[in-house]
Amino acid sequence: MICVIDYGMGNLRSVSKAIETMGGRTFLGRHPRDLKRADKIVLPGVGEFGHAMQALSKQKLIEPLQEILLSGEKPFLGICLGLQLLFESSEENRKVPGLKIFKGSVQRFPKKKIGLKVPQMGWNQVRFLRSSPFIRKVPNQSYFYFVHSFYATPHEQSLDLGITEYGVRFASVIEKEPIFAVQFHPEKSQAAGLKILKNFVAY
């Protein structure tokens, strides 16, 4: 069973439905016990970094989630804001720390770039840097659907599985097995996004 964490910050129905279309069985998790009984965990997210961390804290999910992620106990998928929360901090709200699973921060796209519209909203390419079961049979330079104003800057370049260009080059897919995370929305990314979800289900 795949637990899709329900903390009020994601398009849960679309994510769950897409995973189920690819053969996964999902349930919405709101409590620490839900994380414990899950085989895999998905952290979706749309919204503000600080509010998301406060919502996870209110539901007492931060410590059990950190424990699972740092131990490598279960496969995990972070989507959009769910990727950003894995890092130490964000320019969006410097007062609230992230999950601190990985060293690095989350930065806002540069406003001074001529012609750069923020947020990035629409289709963009991802260039994969190496092979992985997470991107098995997904063509390199595939297009995925993005909606975001911030991007993660990992301290460890080894985390970068896929990169995208939008004014700057940023990590759009990160991997440290069994942790995977994407800045785009696979549930909105048609065949390529669904294939990534299928790979996660099969992992």
Q: Catalytic amino acids?
A: 80, 185, 187
Q: Computed from CA positions of residues 60, 71, 95, 9, in that sequence, does the dihedral angle turn out positive or negative? A: negative
DSSP of 60-115:
T-HHHHHHHHHHT-S-EEEETHHHHTTSSEETT-TTS----SSSEEEEEPPTTSTT
**Cα–Cα distance for residue pair 61/99, rounded to 1 Å:** 10
Q: Computed from CA positions of residues 84, 111, 121, 161, in that sequence, does the dihedral angle turn out positive or negative? A: negative
Q: Which helix (H) or strand (E) holds 50?
A: helix 49-58
Edge-first strand listing for the sheet containing 89-90: 89-90, 104-108, 150-154
Under DSSP, the state recorded for 14 is H
Q: Which of 28, 40, 29 is nearest to 68 (CA)?
A: 40
